[in-house]
Chains A and B, each alone.
Chain A
Amino acid sequence: MASDQQKQILQYLLYKPLVSLKDLEKIYAAAYERQGRGEEIRDLVRSLNDLLKPAQLGIKSRLCEDNNEEYFALINMIESEAAKHTSEFSPAEFELFKWVLKEIVSSESGSVSSIDCINQSSYIQKLTKTDAQKALDKFLASQWLNEREGEVSLTVRALLELEPLLKKLDEDLQNCKICSKLAVKKVACPDCGAKFHRYCISKLKLKCPACHRVWRSLEEESTPSQMSLSQTLSQTSNPSTSQVPNRRNGGIRRGRSHMESDDSE
Chain B
Amino acid sequence: MAGDCSIRALWILNNLDAVVFSRRFPVVEKRWRAACHSENESSGDDPVKYNVFSSLPSDLELAAAFADRKTREGSVRGFGIRVSQSKEGSDSWVDDPITRHIVGFYLNREEEGENNLLWPLALHIKGPYCILILPLVEPKHVKAYARLCKRSDCGNAVMADEKLSSLLLDLPSITGAFMVAYAIGEIVTGDVAEPEVVVSQSPSVGGLLDSLTGSIGISGISRAKPIAAPVASSAPSGAAAVGALAPDVPKSGSRLLDKDALRSFISSAMPFGTPLDLSYSNIFSIKANGFSSLDIPPQDLKQPAWKPYLYKGKQRLLFTIHETLHAAMYDRDEIPDSLSVSGQINCRAELEGLPDVSFPLKGVSTSKIEVLSFHPCSQVPEQNVDKQALMFSPPLGNFVLMRYQATCSLGPPVKGFYQLSMVSEDEGAFLFKLHLMQGYKSPLTMEFCNVTMPFPRRKILSLDGTPSAGTVSNTEHSVEWKIITSGRGLSGKSIEATFPGTVRFSPWQTPRSTSFRSVLEGTTDDDSDNEIENTNNMVNTEEFLMEKMNEDLPPVDLEEPFSWLAYNYAKVSFKIVGASVSGISIDPKSVSIYPTVKAPVELSSQVTSGDYILWNTLGKCPSAVNAKV
Do these two chains interact?
Answer: no
What is the interface of chain B, defined by CB distance below 8 A to chain A?
Answer: none
What is the interface of chain A, defined by CB distance below 8 A to chain B?
Answer: none
